[in-house]
């Protein structure tokens, strides 16, 4: 099929106030042009995209947050003779591709903007008669084998038959910055992706648990960032690797072993909050899913987040593993996360699942948590 443009559509951006909508539209156009050599015309909630490389455009647009769907299309003038001529050629191409025939039913859907001598229904009827004369295909408006769309905007008409699902969400870079806790597992990259989809830029924090975990964990983290950056346009993720082994050693030496996971997660939040302050981030995101592991029971969530002032966002909190894995497979992080990284040997045999706040706070004092956190921050930002 010889297309000459791609029609992109956005969703909830249209619900914003005119000023905010304009800002979001400009950011969306900017993000598209960062990843794609193209020209873009904006007209009433439609993006008319003219890519230099059409196949590349179709592939890359699927990773642009803010686009709900898009269609490769042909353009022509709003004239019945022109519509008949171009639609006939279009149907020829569809027949060659096996998408329409005298046995396969079809429907015509027309969307019209502007003043015309014919209604949308009349345009559809005219276009349908062209197809019937050409192939004799049966019309089925309820459950057609293929639907051909006419989008008529003033003097311009566009013909297409595909509506490709986009990434949706809001344009990346419109909702501020977050710090994300990213391990090498399945959940946290998915949580990060979902917040990127909501327009948030990301500072990614990875905790290197050496000597309790091997180098493969950090290697997987770097691969995950590379994969997530495919969705980032020019708002590339800033990775920060935190050497966390000394903190975990202090926890295991000076606090009850069963509280290791609780103290580990608590320390991560405290460090993330301090990094957020340095990086002008407004919240923390993690991959918590209620009840999935020991640190994610409700009592432990309360204990690990106590005294953390920044909001902690957990977009996966109500999802099960199957739902999370489905998203991970879709965005390409699953094969990386699934590979064996050796796990963490600091995890106790019987971790606490019902943490008592008084005992947790006593354990924090015993291991001098605040001092351990300050040591880490000083190494990251001051090289001490």
Are the beta carbons of 148 and 188 closer than 8 angstroms?
no
Q: How confident is the model at residue 86 (pLDDT cuts 50, 70, 90)?
A: very high
Average pLDDT rounded to a whole number, residues 24-50: 96
pLDDT at 256 over 90: yes
Q: Is 43 helix (H, G, I), strand (E, B) or coil?
A: strand
pLDDT at site 10: 96
328 close to 334: Cβ distance less than 8 angstroms: yes
Structure tokens at 213: 């975990």
Note the pLDDT of residue 243.
95
pLDDT recorded at residue 96: 96
Task: pLDDT band for 145, please (50, 70, 90 cuts).
Answer: very high
pLDDT tens, 294-309? 889 999 999 999 999 9
| Chain segment 119-142, per-residue pLDDT in tens | 999 999 999 999 999 999 999 999
Return the sign of the alpha-carbon dihedral for residues 261, 266, 272, 275.
negative
Hey, is 284 helix, strand or coil? strand
- pLDDT, average across residues 50-56: 95
pLDDT of residue 294: 80
Model pLDDT, residue 204: 98
Q: Is the dihedral of CA 371, 374, 379, 384 positive or negative?
A: negative
pLDDT over threshold 90, residue 5: yes
Condensed to tens digits (0 to 9), the pLDDT of residues 189-222 reads 999 999 999 999 999 999 999 999 988 999 999 9
Q: Which residue has the tokens 């708002």?
A: 235
Counting runs of H as helices and runs of E as strands, what totals does the chain give? 13, 13
- Site of tokens 């990213």: 182
Sorted by where each starts, the structural domains of the chain and their CATH numbers stand as 5-165 (3.30.2130.30), 177-382 (3.40.50.620)
Contacts of 267 (CB under 8 A, 6+ apart): 244, 247, 251, 369, 372, 373
d(CA 296, CA 249): 22
Model confidence at 357, pLDDT cuts 50, 70, 90, reads: very high
pLDDT at 295: 81
Q: Please tell me the pTM assigned to this model.
A: 0.94
pLDDT at 340: 81
Look up residue 75 and give its two tokens.
């353009």
Q: Give the dihedral of Cα atoms 118, 124, 129, 135; nearest 10 deg.
A: 150
**What pLDDT does 218 receive?**
93
Q: Region 91-107: what's the mean pLDDT?
A: 96
**Rounded Cα–Cα distance for residues 304 and 360 (Å):** 9
* DSSP state for residue 139 in the 8-state scheme: B
Query: pLDDT of 147-181, one tens digit each?
Result: 999 999 999 999 999 999 999 999 999 999 999 99
């Amino acid at each position: 099929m010889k297309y000459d443009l791609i029609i992109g559509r956005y969703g909830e951006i249209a619900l914003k106030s005119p000023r905010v909508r304009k800002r979001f539209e400009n950011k969306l156009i900017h993000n598209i042009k960062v990843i794609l050599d193209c020209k873009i015309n904006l007209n009433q909630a439609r993006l008319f995209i003219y890519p230099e490389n059409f196949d590349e455009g179709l592939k890359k647009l699927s990773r642009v947050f803010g686009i709900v769907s898009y269609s490769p299309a042909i353009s022509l003038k709003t004239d019945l003779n022109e519509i008949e001529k171009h639609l006939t050629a279009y149907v020829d191409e569809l027949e060659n591709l096996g998408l329409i025939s005298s046995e396969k039913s079809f429907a015509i859907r027309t969307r019209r903007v502007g003043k015309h001598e014919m209604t949308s229904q009349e345009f559809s009827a005219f276009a349908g008669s062209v197809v019937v004369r050409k192939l004799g295909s049966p019309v089925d408006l309820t459950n057609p084998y293929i639907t051909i769309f006419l989008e008529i905007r003033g003097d311009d008409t566009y013909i297409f038959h595909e509506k490709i699902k986009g990434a949706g969400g809001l344009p990346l870079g419109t909702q501020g910055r977050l710090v994300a806790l990213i391990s090498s597992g399945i959940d946290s990259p998915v949580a990060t992706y979902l917040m990127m989809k909501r327009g948030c830029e990301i500072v990614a924090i990875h905790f290197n648990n050496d000597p309790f975990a091997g180098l493969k964990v950090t290697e997987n983290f770097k691969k995950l960032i590379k994969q997530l950056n495919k969705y980032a346009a020019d708002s590339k993720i800033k990775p920060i690797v935190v050497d966390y082994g000394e903190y975990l050693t202090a926890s295991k030496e000076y606090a009850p072993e069963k509280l290791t996971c609780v103290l580990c997660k608590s320390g991560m939040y405290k460090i993330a909050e301090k990094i957020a302050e340095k990086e002008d981030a407004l919240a923390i995101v993690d991959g918590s899913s209620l009840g999935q592991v020991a640190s994610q029971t409700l009592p432990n969530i309360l204990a690990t987040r106590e005294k953390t002032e920044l909001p902690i966002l957990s977009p996966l909190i109500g999802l099960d593993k199957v739902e999370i894995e489905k998203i991970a497979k879709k965005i390409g992080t699953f094969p990386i996360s699934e590979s064996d990284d050796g796990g963490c040997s600091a995890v106790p045999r019987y971790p606490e699942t019902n943490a008592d706040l008084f005992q947790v706070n006593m354990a924090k004092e015993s291991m001098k948590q605040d001092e351990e956190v300050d040591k880490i921050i000083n190494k990251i930002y001051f090289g001490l």
